[in-house]
């Protein structure tokens, strides 16, 4: 299932992620997870990277300013959750491909 966000009343769907985008996402994720394990808190710089990364993963269909807009964007908790759910979305895609492969393998196709 593709991830979707609603910002300023408009729905955005996460496009298929290319390898370069995934590599950038991993760098941000690894940095954030390292701090999270040590102190459970994010730095301001890490939160900015999180915002940038969400925009990048969604193909820059919206800006950081739109994403964090007080009235029409996402709140802090929703931004943190959206960042965390990027990985889950990729996992769902991989699982779907594995299930299809297993089904084809068992049916002999």
pLDDT at 98: 62
Q: Which pLDDT score is estimated for 82? A: 95
Q: State the pLDDT at residue 100.
A: 67
Q: Which two tokens stand for residue 30?
A: 């690894």
Quote the pLDDT of residue 50: 96
How many domains does the structure of the chain reveal?
A: 1
For residue 95, what are the domain limits? 4-107
CA 87 to CA 26: how far, in whole Å?
A: 9
109 residues of the chain, pLDDT tens digit each? 688 999 999 999 999 999 999 999 999 999 998 876 677 788 999 999 999 999 999 999 999 999 999 999 999 999 999 999 998 877 666 555 666 666 777 766 5
């Amino acid at each position: 299932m593709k991830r979707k966000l609603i910002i300023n009343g408009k729905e955005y769907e996460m496009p298929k992620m290319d390898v370069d985008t995934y590599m950038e996402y991993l760098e941000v994720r690894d940095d954030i997870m390292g701090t999270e394990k040590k102190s459970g808190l994010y730095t301001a710089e890490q939160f900015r990277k999180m915002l940038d990364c969400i925009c990048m993963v969604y193909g820059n269909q919206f800006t950081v300013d739109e994403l964090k807009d007080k009235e029409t964007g996402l709140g802090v908790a929703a931004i943190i959750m959206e960042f965390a759910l990027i990985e889950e979305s990729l996992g769902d895609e991989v699982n779907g491909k594995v299930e299809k492969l297993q089904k084809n393998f068992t049916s002999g196709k």
